[in-house]
Amino acid sequence: MTPPPTPPEAPLGVFDSGVGGLSVLAELRRALPGQDFLYLADTAHVPIGGRPDEEIRYLTDRAVSALHARGAGGVVVACNTASAFSLTHLRERYGPDFPVIGLVPAVKPAVAATRTGVVGVLATPGTLRGTLLKDVIERFAHPAGVRVLTAVSAELVPLVEAGQAGGERARAVLREVLTPLAGAGADQLVLGCTHYPFLAPSIRAEFGDTFALVDSGAAVARHTRNVLSASGRLREGTGGGHVTYLVTGDPAAARPVIALLMGEDGHNVTVQQVTT
């Protein structure tokens, strides 16, 4: 049964398997400064990219259900892997009165911007396995004659989750997986996971201006604003929006990482544990 409509003043839910979706949350807060948010990180199960397809859909469905039960008026699925496997099902389940907004790898703007004709995509195993990335490459890169090269690592998401995006191990992994793309002439690098914008300083430290870094956060925030405005749910204002942070794992472990990535004083960040 389709859930009943939620009121315009309801907070907006944001879901990721971990803290990577905070990069999207930061863009959403810039675009929607008067909006309240419920941010749910499924830290008990991160990373999800290596899990079976059905388990990814199950975990995503549970998280969105938890946000809806807490009064969210819609959800941004701020996870490339969850978006790739779950958006169609979620939209069918919740219907138009509960908008579900997902991520699409930013291949289109990278293709438009490349001067070398070679675009790199830094992805997770789950995003690489799904059809969404393949579809956008087929739709935007192939007709333009642009070559798309992919790089994948299962290590980067756990490093960001541990607050080590700027550490030597992260830089070593980035050197290993991105050097072939640089050698092939890629001048655009699509960050195909919401965790990866937090690796931008490390990528620039290793590769300088070799790549222009392209992610979906700002575009998703603009689209979300348009969706809320069209449905009469947009909360206008120049500030004052509040974020409630929810995790399925240990809140004490998540708090300092959330504070670090959001540039906040850890004493001002409250993290609640929830069961989905």
- Residue 193 annotated in active site: yes
In order of 69, 70, 255, the CA distances from 65 in angstroms are 6, 9, 23
Backbone angles phi, psi at 187, to 5 degrees: -115, -5
Q: Which among 26, 56, 28, 23 has a CA at the least distance from the CA of 42?
A: 56
Interior/surface letters 182-204, b for 16+ CB within 10 angstroms, e for the rest: beeebbbbbbbbbbbbbbbebbe
Interior/surface letters 94-123, b for 16+ CB within 10 angstroms, e for the rest: beeebbbbbbbbbbbbbbeebeeebbbbbb
Kindly state the tokens that stand for 124. Answer: 């997770």
In order of 90, 99, 193, 255, the CA distances from 163 in angstroms are 31, 31, 16, 11
Residue 268 is assigned to a ligand binding site? no
| Site of tokens 């409630």 | 244
- Residue 79 annotated in active site: yes
Residue 194 is assigned to a ligand binding site? yes
Beta-carbon contacts of 223 under 8 Å, excluding residues fewer than 6 positions away, are: 101
Residue 80 is assigned to a ligand binding site? yes
Identify each DSSP E strand in 124-210 by its residue range: 147-152, 188-191
Crossing angle of the two packed helices 217-230 and 22-31, in degrees rounded to 10: 50
Residue 17 is assigned to a ligand binding site? yes
Residue 270 is assigned to a ligand binding site? no
- What is the rounded distance in angstroms from the CA atom of residue 16 to the CA atom of residue 53? 16
Please identify which of the residues 107, 148, 193, 269 carries the catalytic annotation.
193
Please identify which of the residues 41, 79, 90, 151 carries the catalytic annotation.
79
Instruction: List the catalytic residues.
Output: 79, 193
**Residue list, annotated binding site:** 16-17, 80-81, 194-195
Extract the annotated binding site for substrate: 16-17, 80-81, 194-195
